Amino acid sequence: MKNKTKIAVLVSGGGTNLQAILDAQKSGVINHGEVVAVISSSPTAYALERAKNHGVEGFVVSKKEVGKENFEAEIIKIIEEKGAELIVLAGFMSILSESFTKKYENRILNVHPSLIPSFCGEGFYGLRVHEAALSYGVKVTGATVHYVNEIADGGKIILQKAVEIKEGDTAEILQKRVMQEAEWKILPQAVELVSKEILNMKESEVL
C-alpha cells in the first residue's frame, strides 16, 4: 500500500461533508489521503455513526466535559496520537484559536457555503449564509474550500464552485443545492489536492 496523508476530520453534527469525503476515498477521488480519525465536539453527532460505518475511529471532545481551556489541547492530543497531517473541518461549530491555526498552518481546510469573500466571516454559518444571499438578491452563490487561519473564513482559497439561485428558492432549498452541487464535490477534490501536496513535500524532504 502506498503512502497516504493521514487526515483528521473535525465535526459537530450530521456529517454530510464527512460522508462526501469517505465516499470519495472509497471511489478513488481521494487517492493520496486517508481519514484516520473523526473528532466530534458533540457526543450525539450522527457523524460519529458515519465514521463507525466506515471503520474510522471516532472521538468525542466536548467543551462541557473537558472545559474550554482544555478543549483544543484534547483535540491536539488525538491529532498527534493518530499522526494526522491534515485537518478538515466538516461542519465543526467551534472557532479555533490563533495558536491552534498557527500550529497547523496550511494544514487545516474548511468548506464555506458561499463564494468567499461574499457572505462570510463571523456570524455567517449554516442557513444564515443562504438567507443573506437570498435577501441580497444575488443570482449566483456557491461554496469555497479554503485554508483556515486566525480570521474567520479568511484563509487562502483552494477551490470554489458556483451554484445558480433559482426563482422561489428558500434558504433550506438553496442550502441543499449548494451542498449537492458544490460542497460535496469540491471538498473531496481539495482534500485530494492538499493530501498530494503534503506527500510531495515529505518526499522532497527525504531526497
The residues carrying an active-site annotation are 112
Integer Cα distance of 108 and 9 in angstroms: 10
Instruction: Give the DSSP letter string of 155-205.
Output: SPEEEEEEEE--TT--HHHHHHHHIIIIIHHHHHHHHHHHHHHHHHHHHHH
Cell numbers representing residue 38 in the block: 473523526
46 is written with which cell numbers?
A: 450522527
Is there a contact between 191 and 88 (Cβ–Cβ < 8 Å)?
yes
Instruction: Single out the residue of 107, 119, 120 nearest to residue 197, CA to CA.
Output: 107
Distances (CA, A) of 113 to 1, 7, 17, 171, 184: 35, 22, 12, 12, 11
Distance CA 65, CA 118 (A): 36
Bridge partner list, 89: 10, 110
